[in-house]
Amino acid sequence: MANVPIWPGSSNFFPGNTPFGFYDNDYQFQQDADKFATFAARRLGYPIVDVELQDLNFYTAFEEAVTIYGNEVYAYKVRQDYLSLEGVTISSDIPNINGSSSLAFSAVTPNMGVIIKLSEQYGTEAGTGGNVDWHTGSIALTSSVQDYDLNAWAVSQGYKNKDLEIKRVFYESPPAIVKFFDPYAGTGAGVMNVMDSFGWSGYSPAINFVLMPLNYDLQVIQQIEMSDTVRRSNYSFEVQNNKLRLFPIPDGSVSKLYFQFLLKSERLANSISGNTGSIANVSNVPYTNPVYTYINSVGRSWIFEYALTLSKEMLGYVRGKYTTVPIPGSEVTMNQQDLLSSATAEKTALIDRLRAYLDETSREKLLERRSLETEYRQKELNQVPQPIYIA
């Protein structure tokens, strides 16, 4: 045990003393590294008891604590802003800091980019827009043939088999207006050129027009449509697996049937975007390690506490190598278990405290707090006497 190195009482930090060197060139980190080493050694009992750690151990704990602090803060920011960041091109849309793209000093404004992309998918399926083209096709109808295989038609047109998805079929009866009969036209009602203002006076042969109420026209159209539905075979169709069945059976009066379709391959292609330089998941959101100089006193206080806990954990492992130490006439039992159990509990408590603090500063919590402040402010203002103004 006498050969175990102990804390000498002071240290002098140089760049390269930490395992990764993330913050070694940060002047403020260099200053605080030695201060922390002194602080941690004294908190662990020096100079009353020997501390079996060296300055490099304290520097390692300090670097790790800063990195974990940055990891927790940035992981929270990624969760908060990911919907606004997904698909962003890293090289062109994100500021460059010290030679690499980083969001460390960027304020991310929420946007509706992802929601709009989702809306485009709904628009595609509803036929009201979207980001997938609807194509138009037509198939020749054969008299007395009721069923048509549109997959076979697609293959014949050069499309891949089963890549077709029918969205709309234009198989409808002629509109009622083409069978509309106006019983008042040309009956000699004595109203001549009453619709000149509509530009209808030049019709040939010349007839009279009586402008009937719109509800009359609507009733006539409904009558024609109801008559076709009840008295005649109604125009309809069904599509199952791109097999089209028509009702009534074509009689040769219609030669072509038009329809709209999309290609499943194009839908899939439009649902995947991005490249190797864009944000595709939480692992490549460009947050670099924090700049220690810009961490405020609240963050540094947490870092000192966490680094002390890491130092305590290291000291526990060191002392675990020696269960007891002989002394003249007796032996001393080392406190490994106390150090390790205390360090484990403190690490958990510190992480929980930091996460709770970050959650309290979330956009949702801040807006909720502002709403409550407004409500209470209004209640307070309601207690102020309001004078009556007399002009």
Structure-token pair, residue 349: 């408590």
Do 242 and 209 have their domain in common?
yes
Do 149 and 263 have their domain in common?
yes
User: 318: closest CA among 293, 304, 335?
Assistant: 335
User: What is the per-residue pLDDT for 275?
Assistant: 74
Lowest mean pLDDT among 8-22, 114-128, 140-154, 356-370: 114-128
DSSP state of 232: S
Number of domains in the chain: 2
Give the whole-number percent of the chain exceeding pLDDT 70.
86
Backbone angles phi, psi at 172, to 5 degrees: -135, 155
User: What is the per-residue pLDDT for 96?
Assistant: 76
Do 96 and 184 have their domain in common?
no
User: 279: closest CA among 88, 116, 95?
Assistant: 88
Q: Average of pLDDT values for 314-338?
A: 74
End of a domain among 234, 250, 271?
A: 271
**Is the pLDDT reported for residue 133 higher than 80?**
yes
Do 344 and 309 have their domain in common?
yes
Do 245 and 145 have their domain in common?
yes
Kindly give, in sequence order, each residue whose CB lies less than 8 Å from that of residue 87, ignoring residues fewer than 6 positions away: 113, 114, 273, 274, 278, 279, 280
Do 75 and 103 have their domain in common?
yes
User: What is the per-residue pLDDT for 112?
Assistant: 83
Is 172 inside a domain boundary?
yes
Kindly give, in sequence order, each residue whose CB lies less than 8 Å from that of residue 333, ignoring residues fewer than 6 positions away: 323, 324
Q: pLDDT of 224-276, one tens digit each?
A: 888 877 877 778 899 999 999 998 888 887 889 999 999 999 988 888 776 77
Kindly give, in sequence order, each residue whose CB lies less than 8 Å from that of residue 177, ignoring residues fewer than 6 positions away: 221
Is 342 inside a domain boundary?
yes
**Is the pLDDT reported for residue 203 higher than 60?**
no
Do 141 and 264 have their domain in common?
yes
Confidence category of residue 312, pLDDT binned at 50, 70, 90: very high
User: What is the per-residue pLDDT for 231?
Assistant: 76
Confidence category of residue 206, pLDDT binned at 50, 70, 90: very low
Kindly give, in sequence order, each residue whose CB lies less than 8 Å from that of residue 127, ignoring residues fewer than 6 positions away: 134, 167, 168, 260
Do 154 and 261 have their domain in common?
yes
Is 388 inside a domain boundary?
no
End of a domain among 247, 271, 295?
A: 271
**DSSP-derived pairing of the beta strands 236-240 and 324-327:** unpaired
Q: pLDDT of 11-49, one tens digit each?
A: 999 999 999 999 999 999 999 999 999 999 999 999 998
**DSSP-derived pairing of the beta strands 100-101 and 96-97:** antiparallel
Is 140 inside a domain boundary?
yes
Is 6 inside a domain boundary?
no
Look up the domain containing 152 and give its range: 131-271
Is 66 inside a domain boundary?
yes
Do 243 and 305 have their domain in common?
no
Q: What is the largest CA-CA distance in the chain?
A: 138
Do 80 and 160 have their domain in common?
no
End of a domain among 230, 245, 271?
A: 271
Distance of alpha carbon 324 from alpha carbon 339, whole angstroms:
15
